[in-house]
Amino acid sequence: MSYTCISSRCYLFAFSINSIRAILGSVEGDLEMGFYGSSCPKAEKIVQDYVNQHIPNAPSLAAALIRMHFHDCFVRGCDGSVLLNFTSASGNQTEKVAVPNQTVRGFDFIDRLKSLLEAECPGIVSCADIVALAARDSIVLTGGPSWRVPTGRRDGLMSNASEALAQIPAPFDNITILTQKFANKSLDLKDLVLLSGAHTIGISHCPSFTNRLYNFTGVGDRDPTLDSEYADNLRSRKCRTQNDTTTIVEMDPGSRKTFDLSYYALLLKRRGLFESDSALTRNSNTLTFINQLLQGSIANFYTEFGLSMEKMGQIGVKTGTTGEIRRNCAVVNS
């Protein structure tokens, strides 16, 4: 699965402005609904219009953008650190090159949005906020749920590949590791189940799961928790060798373009693609949440998913004078 920027505003009059915001604005921690209302009134519409214009021509980007938002938030908080390129000045490889992010797409999409916003309001809208807004708007456009996106995030100054590798949930993680990684970000088991529901759209690549098909315990065996018919199909029609790095596979076969509950139904049939998917069925609490979702309405799922997305979008945010508003999402300001 997988992950933001903002303006410094004018802090010379910060006390009076913030007092007014506290009275008039809808405040979520240090973020606000409509944060750019006065500094860049068209900001959110610019993002929405661009998404509406381009996502219909590339609907798979919706899954890519929500994954980017997820991966961004799990490392250093939702601060756009996943967008940074390596530079010799930084002295370390950035999150972009870490294994979990090597298949993340949509960076050009965010860069084009940033260019539009810089033309409208230079130095005001953060890359972190752009990612958060674009992820939500693209999911809505594909017929999926909406959720509140309070804004005001600022962009981080650091990005480290080793942190991404250690902190982003991996497709090989068991329930104990997943629980801990989510708890480290103040997310609970219900959030784990709901946010995993984003796997109802999008695709994966064979290296994320072929060990389950060809060499689960290192002796050329198959994962016994994976439905045998599903495993046979993956081996014969998709990942025909263990070294296949190019074939793409639907995470929710037959329904990957629809944001629905079929992902959870497949979990109960032992057809979750990743070990991390399968792990959700082997914990009594997460299994209870899965069954509750399947017994409820799609509207309930959308509401619950939206609440977890809003919660995730506030992980470790930088506000006030922390961080910066990048002029270019791929590099820190000089």
Active site residues: 71
Q: Cα(186)–Cα(164) distance, rounded to whole angstroms?
A: 17
One DSSP character per residue, 199-236 reads GGS-EEEGGGTHHHHH-SSSSS---TTS-HHHHHHIII
Q: And the tokens for 196?
A: 């995993």
DSSP 238: I
Residue 72 among known ligand-binding residues = yes
Q: What stretch of H or E contains 31?
A: strand 31-33
75 is in an annotated binding site: yes
**Do residues 212 and 223 lie in contact, with contact meaning Cβ atoms separated by under 8 Å?**
yes
120 is in an annotated binding site: no
- The DSSP string of 117-179 is HHHHSTTTSBHHHHHHHHHHHHHHHTT-------B---B-S---HHHHHHHS--TT--HHHHH
State yes or no: 227 annotated in a binding site. Answer: no
| Contact (Cβ atoms closer than 8 angstroms) between residue 81 and residue 127 | no
Residue 54 annotated in ligand binding: no
Torsion sign across C-alpha atoms 32, 38, 40, 41: positive
Q: Which residues pair with 26 in a beta bridge?
A: 33
129 marked ligand binding residue: no
Both tokens of 43, joined, read 């900001």
Give me 285's structure tokens. 């609490």
Tell me how many degrees the CA angle 321-327-329 measures, rounded to the nearest 5. 95
221 is in an annotated binding site: no
- Bridge partner list, 32: 27, 151
- Residues of each annotated binding site for heme b: 199
- Residues of each annotated binding site: 72, 75, 77, 79, 81, 95, 169, 199-200, 252, 260
- Residues of each annotated binding site for Ca(2+): 72, 75, 77, 79, 81, 95, 200, 252, 260
